[in-house]
Amino acid sequence: MEQRSEKSTVLIVDDDELVKNILIDELSQEYDIISAGNGQEALDKLEEYGEKIEVIVLDLVMPVMDGVTFLENYRNRKEYQKIPVIVATSREDIELEKKCLEYGVWHFVMKPYNPTLLRFRIKNAVAKSKLLVSDKDSVTGIDTKFTFYEKLRRLLAEVPDEKFAFVRMDIDRFKMINNFYGIAEGDRVLKCVAKELTRISEVFEHFLYARMENDVFVCCLPYKEENIELMVNALQISLKKLNKDYNIKMSCGVYVIDDYSLDVTQMYDRAYLAAKRCKENFSKRVVYYNNSMVESMRREQFVINEVNKALEEEQFVLYLQPKVNMILGRPYGAEALVRWIHPKHGMISPGEFIPVFEKNGIIGRLDQYVWRKACQLLRKWIDEGKEPDPISVNVSRVDIYNPHLVETLSKLVTEYRISPHLLNLELTESAFVEDQELVIKTMKRLRDYGFQIMMDDFGSGYSSLNILKDMEIDYLKIDMKFLNQDIGFNGKGEKVLTSVVKMAKWMHLPSIVEGVETQAQVDFLKDIGCEYVQGYYYAKPMPVEEYEKYIEQEHKKETKSLVHANIGVMNELWNPRSATSVLFDMLDVPIAVYEYKDDKIGLLRYNKLYEERIMTGDGEIIEEESEELRTAFDELEAGSQGTVIEILRDSDKWYRLTIKRIGKKSGVAINMVTFFDISDCK
């Protein structure tokens, strides 16, 4: 290997042999000296030694090519500009000095040379040039961060009238390229970007560029939207040419420099913020910075700073949003939605802090806090003698990676002595795609323990219907996105919704549609047979006390209008996936479930055969028949578990009815009636 001299190299350009020799004597202890007798020779030496030369000491008055002409050439060669030039003058000439400065000269020394002073100047220049010259990226050979920043500071100071754009670019999924195709391929991609940037740099008078780290590149160019567009296109095309097997996408964040009080590193931060947005949106290749991005970053930081205190001081509060059983038209359970009641800033919505918590690993703590609160609440209700419906809690996709998840949840329900059936778990659809194997395993363990799982946000875009067949879940929560259009115009959303609900039925999965806001939506969802809904139309998320009052009122309403009674026992039947339900629909005799209180009878649920053979056109119970049913139901009231009666229908059809009591709640009796056709025996 070539032994590199530790000494820096200085090029001395002077036509006076004597002066040159004195300087060489003076300086050769510390520096390797190269000399030239005029401007042309100096250019030749530059060509020969290139960037090895770290400082140029230049006399201005020389034959063949004078110093100023040399500087003109020097200025036109980008690669030379990082070599500092010290100009020697023998007279004070302001105009000449100005011209030299314009050409990028760093310093002046007076002739005849004062050796001490010259040494000092050279030393400073070398130090500075080292920063600039030696700081080259080893993979791509282009500037590194440091050089870029130095140059950019200089550029902004020297060309204050030009509007520049600071661009930060990186390669999406670069790690994947490295891991999958190997480091060499990764390097090839980086070199390709660097080469293209170098090519582009030749088009512009001012164009700085560098590789910051890994797959991150930056550049600064005169701002015009089409400049950026062209650059991004050029990069994309050359990457495409490089490898046709996979699609390489670059994400670019652009900060159009408008605040010159910022340091270049802060300009980078702005371009970076924009780039982050770009990454989040796969269809975008370029995102421009705007001030609201800083605001959102500030808020993010605020959220992180405040979270510990907030947890300690219990600033997080549980809100409950009822779910409504569409068949019964009554609330059934609720979803726990967390709210942050900040002492100074008031209520902060989860949309703002949940994503930040997920990014920063805080979500696990918050979720466990919410789960505990939900368990405490269920325990409290049970202690008060209520028979609560389940509360569902959100389980972040991040929680799935917690190896103690199942243990944590099972410990919680044990601690509060509640059935795991009462705590339903909502897991967002996107979690199911991330690490399917892990999710399937975890869900199975949770279900084996007795928890019920809801796939949340179904249809929000990540998964296909296909995924459902592999997943052990109990409910499908359908994303409210489907409801965005106006219902009732046979739009695409409704069609999708209809088939999703239908498909869920085939899989014996009850659907819960979220975000229901209007009567029209409710009617539509009833029509397509959706089992549960949740939305502002019925109730917004509310504090616990309010929810308790709400439930109390709903109960009162129910006992008044008996038709839709509140029967917990029935939930099995409303759950089309439950064994009871499946069996119910499979039986080849007509069968129906009635509620009964204070002489009032309501038809709650029936199977297909009942619908075909027994039910009247308008679904009402025939008066004479109801008389007989009443008598039978009263008999059960008196204590018997079941009874049999015979009735005549449509003047020629005889049925034997076996009537069984299957439950009673809040004074409402639930009776199941089976209709055996005995006409042939009569």
394 belongs to the binding site for ligand C2E (CB under 6 A): yes
Q: Which is nearer to ligand C2E, 367 or 474 (CB)?
A: 367
Nearest approach, Cβ of residue 426 and Ca ion (Å): 4
**b/e code 257-285 from CB counts within 10 Å (16+ = b):** beeeebebeebbbbbbbbbebbeeeeeeb
Q: Look up residue 210 and give its two tokens.
A: 């560098």
**Using CB distances below 5 to 8 A depending on partner kind, what does residue 337 bind out of ligand C2E, Ca ion, none?**
ligand C2E
Rg (CA), the chain: 39
DSSP 169-206: EEETTHHHHHHHH-HHHHHHHHHHHHHHHHHHHTTSSS
Nearest approach, Cβ of residue 484 and ligand C2E (Å): 9
Options 37, 322, 535, 576; binder of ligand C2E; rule CB under 6 A: 535
Q: Which stretch binds ligand C2E (CB under 6 A): 77-85, 350-358, 486-494, 586-594?
A: 350-358
Restricting to residues 392-411, name those near Ca ion by CB under 5 A: 394
Q: Look up residue 194 and give its two tokens.
A: 């660097």
Q: Which is nearer to ligand C2E, 38 or 321 (CB)?
A: 321
- CA–CA dist 563, 291 (Å, integer): 57
350 belongs to the binding site for ligand C2E (CB under 6 A): yes
Q: Which stretch binds ligand C2E (CB under 6 A): 225-233, 400-408, 531-539, 649-657?
A: 531-539
Are the C-beta atoms of 429 and 399 separated by less than 8 Å?
Answer: no
Which of helix, strand or coil describes residue 150? helix
User: How many CA atoms lie less than 13 Å away from 573 in the CB half-sphere?
Assistant: 21
331 belongs to the binding site for ligand C2E (CB under 6 A): no
Restricting to residues 413-442, name those near ligand C2E by CB under 6 A: 426
Are the C-beta atoms of 34 and 44 separated by less than 8 Å?
Answer: no
459 belongs to the binding site for ligand C2E (CB under 6 A): no
35 belongs to the binding site for Ca ion (CB under 5 A): no
Site string for Ca ion, 406-445 (x = CB under 5 A): --------------------x-------------------
Site string for ligand C2E, 396-415 (x = CB under 6 A): x-------------------
392 belongs to the binding site for ligand C2E (CB under 6 A): no
Nearest approach, Cβ of residue 335 and ligand C2E (Å): 7
370 belongs to the binding site for ligand C2E (CB under 6 A): yes
Centroid of chain to Cα 487: 29
Are the C-beta atoms of 645 and 571 separated by less than 8 Å?
Answer: no
Options 362, 363, 512, 673; binder of ligand C2E; rule CB under 6 A: 363
- CA–CA dist 472, 8 (Å, integer): 70
**Using CB distances below 5 to 8 A depending on partner kind, what does residue 220 bind out of Ca ion, ligand C2E, none?**
none
457 belongs to the binding site for Ca ion (CB under 5 A): yes
- CA–CA dist 305, 362 (Å, integer): 11
531 belongs to the binding site for Ca ion (CB under 5 A): no
Are the C-beta atoms of 603 and 636 separated by less than 8 Å?
Answer: no
Nearest approach, Cβ of residue 321 and ligand C2E (Å): 6
Q: Which stretch binds Ca ion (CB under 5 A): 96-104, 391-399, 587-595, 629-637?
A: 391-399
515 belongs to the binding site for ligand C2E (CB under 6 A): yes
Q: Which is nearer to ligand C2E, 388 or 535 (CB)?
A: 535
- CA–CA dist 590, 649 (Å, integer): 14
Q: Which stretch binds ligand C2E (CB under 6 A): 62-70, 88-96, 510-518, 656-664?
A: 510-518
Are the C-beta atoms of 397 and 434 separated by less than 8 Å?
Answer: yes
Nearest approach, Cβ of residue 394 and Ca ion (Å): 5
Q: Which is nearer to ligand C2E, 400 or 516 (CB)?
A: 516
- CA–CA dist 682, 60 (Å, integer): 130
Nearest approach, Cβ of residue 568 and ligand C2E (Å): 24
Strand 423-428 vs strand 391-395: parallel, antiparallel, or unpaired?
parallel
Nearest approach, Cβ of residue 362 and Ca ion (Å): 18
Residue 120: how many other CB atoms lie within 10 Å: 13
Options 456, 474, 494, 558; binder of Ca ion; rule CB under 5 A: 456
**H or E stretch at 368:** helix 363-383
Number of residues counted as binding ligand C2E (CB under 6 A)? 23
Q: Which of 413, 418, 409, 415 is nearest to 383 (CA)?
A: 418
User: What are the Cα distances from residue 479, in Å, to 186, 501, 527?
Assistant: 39, 12, 18
595 belongs to the binding site for Ca ion (CB under 5 A): no
Q: Which stretch binds ligand C2E (CB under 6 A): 43-51, 60-68, 223-231, 534-542?
A: 534-542
Centroid of chain to Cα 183: 28
338 belongs to the binding site for ligand C2E (CB under 6 A): yes
Q: Look up residue 250 and give its two tokens.
A: 């670059």
349 belongs to the binding site for ligand C2E (CB under 6 A): yes
Options 269, 457, 474, 595; binder of ligand C2E; rule CB under 6 A: 457
352 belongs to the binding site for ligand C2E (CB under 6 A): no
558 belongs to the binding site for ligand C2E (CB under 6 A): no
Q: Look up residue 474 and give its two tokens.
A: 């109990």
Q: Which of 113, 101, 106 is nearest to 14 (CA)?
A: 113
Nearest approach, Cβ of residue 393 and ligand C2E (Å): 6
416-422 contacts, C-beta under 8 A, 24 or more apart = 416/375, 416/376, 416/378, 416/379, 417/379, 418/375, 418/378, 418/379, 418/382, 419/450, 420/449, 420/450, 420/451, 421/390, 421/450, 421/451, 421/452, 422/378, 422/388, 422/390, 422/391
Nearest approach, Cβ of residue 553 and ligand C2E (Å): 19
246 belongs to the binding site for ligand C2E (CB under 6 A): no
Binding site for Ca ion (CB under 5 A): 394, 426, 456-457
Binding site for ligand C2E (CB under 6 A): 321, 337-338, 349-351, 354, 363, 367, 370, 394, 396, 426, 456-457, 514-517, 534-536, 541
